[in-house]
Structure 1
Amino acid sequence: MSALWRINLWVCGFFALVTCACTALLMHQALADVERELQSAEAVVHYLSETAERDPASLQPRLTASLRHVRVDWLAADEALPVADQDGLDAWLGRVLFADASHSAKALDLADGRRVSIGVDPRDEIDEVWDSLQQLLAVCAMALALSLLTIRWAVRRGMRVLDELLLALQQVCSGRLNVRLRCAGAPEAQQLALHFNRMTDALEQARLDNARLTQTLLAVQERERTHLAQTLHDDLGQYLAGIRAQVCLLPLIAHQPETLARTVHLLEGHCEHLQQGFRVLVHDLYPVALQHLPMSEAFAMLVAQWRASHGIDCQLQVSAALPPLSPASKTHLYRLLQEALTNIVRHADASQVRVRLQHRGSRLRLWVRDNGHGAQQPQRPGVGLYSMYERARCLGGELKILSHPGAGWALALNMPVEGL
Structure 2
Amino acid sequence: MSALWRINLWVCGFFTLVTVACMALLVHQALADVERELQSAEAVVHYLSETAERDPASLQPRLTRSLRHVRVRWLGADEAATLPTQAGLDAWLGRLLFAEARHSERVLDLADGRRVQIAVDPRDEIDEVWDSLQQLLALCALALLLSLLTIRWAVRRGMGLLDDLLHALRQVSAGQLKVRLPAQGLPEARQLAMHFNQMTAALEQARADNTQLTQTLLALQEQERTHLAQTLHDDLGQYLAGIRAQACLLPLVADQPSVVAQTVRELEHNCEHLQQGFRALVRDLYPVVLQHLPLAEALGLLVEQWQTRQGIDCRLRVGVQVPELSTPAKTHLYRLLQEALTNIARHAGASAVSVRLHQRGRHWRLLIRDNGCGAQQPQRPGVGLYSMFERARSLGGELRIISQPGAGWALALNVPVLNMPGEVS
Specify the TM-score bucket, using the shorter chain as the normaliser. over 0.9
Secondary structure at 1:373's aligned position in 2?
coil
Counterpart in the other structure of 1:125: 125
| CA apart distance, 1:110 | 1.1
Q: For the residues of structure 2 that align with 1:297 and 1:96, how far apart are their CA atoms?
A: 97
Could you say which residue in structure 1 is the equivalent of 2:145? Answer: 145
Distance 2:152 2:385 in 1: 53
Structure 2 CA distance for aligned equivalents of residues 159 and 201 of structure 1: 24
SS for the counterpart of 1:252 is helix
Confirm whether residue 333 of structure 1 aligns to residue 372 of structure 2: no
Partner of 2:372: 372
1:74 aligned onto 2:77: no
Is 1:173 the equivalent of 2:173?
A: yes
Q: Is the 8 A contact 1:325 1:417 kept in 2?
A: no
Counterpart of 1:388? 388
Which residue of structure 1 aligns with residue 13 of structure 2?
13
Deviation of the 1:82 alpha carbon? 4.1
The 1:31/1:359 distance shift into structure 2, 3 A limit, reads closer
Letter in 2 for 1:387: S
The residue that corresponds to 1:352 in the other structure is 352
2:282 paired residue number: 282
Question: In terms of mean alpha carbon deviation, does 224-233 or 327-336 score higher?
Answer: 327-336
* Superposition deviation, residue 19 in structure 1: 0.9
Q: Give, as a single letter, the amino acid of the residue that structure 2 aligns with 1:46.
A: H
Once residues 367 and 76 of structure 1 are traced to their aligned partners in structure 2, the CA distance between those partners, rounded to angstroms, is 118
Cα distance in 2, alignment partners of residues 416 and 75 from structure 1: 104
Moved more, 52-61 or 287-296: 287-296
Residues 364 and 414 of structure 1 are in contact (CA less than 8 Å); yes or no, is this contact kept in structure 2?
A: yes
- Residue 24 of structure 2 is matched in structure 1 by 24
Shift of residue 137, structure 1, vs aligned partner: 0.6
| Counterpart residue number, 2:222 | 222
Moved more, 310-319 or 23-32: 310-319
Aligned residue runs from structure 1 range 207-356, under 5 A = 207-356=207-356
Q: CA shift at 1:361, angstroms?
A: 4.8
- Matching residue of 2:161: 161
Which letter does structure 1 place at the counterpart of 2:141?
A
Per mean C-alpha deviation after superposition, the further-off stretch among 391-400 and 74-83 is 74-83
Q: Tell me the distance in 1 between the aligned counterparts of 2:319 and 2:78.
A: 126
Residues 91-123 of structure 1 deviation map (CA, whole Å, 9 limit, x = unaligned): 221122221223253321111122222111211
Aligned twin of 1:195: 195
Confirm or deny that 1:96 pairs with 2:84. Answer: no
Deviation sequence 1:266-315 (CA, Å, 0-9, x none) = 11111011000001001001111111122222112111111111111112
Alignment of 1:24-63 (within 5 A): 24-63=24-63
Segments of structure 1 that go 5 or more residues without pairing to the other structure are none
Q: Distance in 1 between matches of 2:101 and 2:409?
A: 99
The CA deviation string for residues 111-146 of structure 1, in whole angstroms up to 9 with x for no partner, is 112222211121111111111111011111111111
How many residue pairs match? The answer is 420
In structure 2, do the counterparts of structure 1 residues 257 and 205 end up closer, same or farther at CA, with 3 Å as the change threshold? same
Residues 315 and 355 in structure 1, CA contact (< 8 A), matched pair in contact too: yes
Please give the secondary structure, in 2, of the residue aligned with 1:135: helix
The Cα of 1:416 is off from its aligned counterpart by 3.0
SS at match of 1:315: strand
For 1:322, the aligned partner's letter is V
1:86 Cα deviation (Å)? 4.1
Provide the C-alpha distance between the structure 2 equivalents of 1:255 and 1:156, rounded to a whole number of angstroms: 105
**Structure 1 equivalent of residue 397 of structure 2:** 397
Separation of aligned partners in 2, 1:319 and 1:24? 80
Q: Deviations over 1:217-258 (max 9, x none)?
A: 000000000000000000000000111111111111111111
Deviation at 1:321, TM superposition (A): 3.5
Larger deviation: 408-417 or 79-88?
79-88
Q: Which amino acid aligns with 2:57?
A: A
Instruction: Find the aligned partners of 1:199 and 1:114 in 2 and give their Cα distance.
Output: 96
Question: Larger deviation: 159-168 or 83-92?
Answer: 83-92
Aligned residues: CA RMSD: 1.4
Question: Within 2, Cα distance between the matches of 1:137 and 1:244?
Answer: 110
Q: Tell me the SS of whatever aligns to 1:264.
A: helix
Return closer, same or farther for 1:76/1:219 CA change in 2, 3 Å cut-off: same
What is the one-letter code of the residue matched to 1:306? W
Structure 2 match to 1:106: 106
Structure 2 alignment gaps of length 5 or more? none
Instruction: Tell me how far apart the structure 1 counterparts of residues 127 and 48 of structure 2 sit (CA, whole Å).
Output: 24
For residue 415 of structure 1, report the CA deviation from its aligned partner: 1.6
Q: Secondary structure at the match of 1:8?
A: helix
The one-letter amino acid paired with 1:392 is A
Local SS of the residue matching 2:251:
coil
Gap change, CA 1:67 and 1:73, over 3 Å in 2:
same
Kindly indicate whether the alpha-carbon contact (under 8 Å) linking 2:42 and 2:104 is maintained by their aligned counterparts in 1. no
TM-score w.r.t. length of structure 2: 0.96
1:115 aligns with 115
Aligned partners of 1:70 and 1:296: how far apart in 2?
111
CA contact (8 A) 1:397 1:413 kept: yes
| Distance verdict in 2 for CA 1:116–1:63, change over 3 Å | same
2:78 alignment partner, SS class: coil
Counterparts of 1:417 and 1:54 in 2: how far apart (Å)?
A: 111
Hey, what's the Cα distance between the residues in 1 that align with 2:152 and 2:321?
A: 70
> Shift of the alpha carbon at 1:417?
3.9
